[in-house]
Amino acid sequence: MTLEELVACDNAAQKMQTVTAAVEELLVAAQRQDRLTVGVYESAKLMNVDPDSVVLCLLAIDEEEEGDIALQIHFTLIQSFCCDNDINIVRVSGMQRLAQLLGEPAETQGTTEARDLHCLLVTNPHTDSWKSRGLVEVASYCEESRGNNQWVPSISLQGR
What's the confidence (pLDDT) of residue 10?
Answer: 58
| Other CB atoms within 10 Å distance of the CB of residue 125 | 12
Q: Which helix (H) or strand (E) holds 81?
A: helix 69-84
Higher-pLDDT residue of 105, 67: 67
Q: What is the pLDDT of residue 160?
A: 47
pTM: 0.83
The mean per-residue pLDDT over the stretch 63-86 comes to: 92
For the domain made up of 3-156, the CATH class stated in words is alpha beta
* Extents of the domains making up the chain: 3-156
Average pLDDT, the chain: 84
Of 135, 111, 116, 126, which Cα lies nearest the Cα of 51?
126
Q: Among candidates 23, 8, 32, which has minimal Cα distance to 91?
A: 23
Q: What is the mean pLDDT of residues 134-140?
A: 87
Please spell the DSSP secondary structure of 24-60, one letter per residue: HHHHHHHHHTT-EEESHHHHHHHHHH-GGGEEEEEEE
Distance in angstroms (rounded) separating the CA atoms of residues 107 and 6:
42
Distance of CA 19 to the CA centre of its chain: 11
Cβ atoms 59, 152 nearer than 8 A: yes
Q: What is the pLDDT of residues 51-61, one digit of tens each?
A: 999 999 999 99
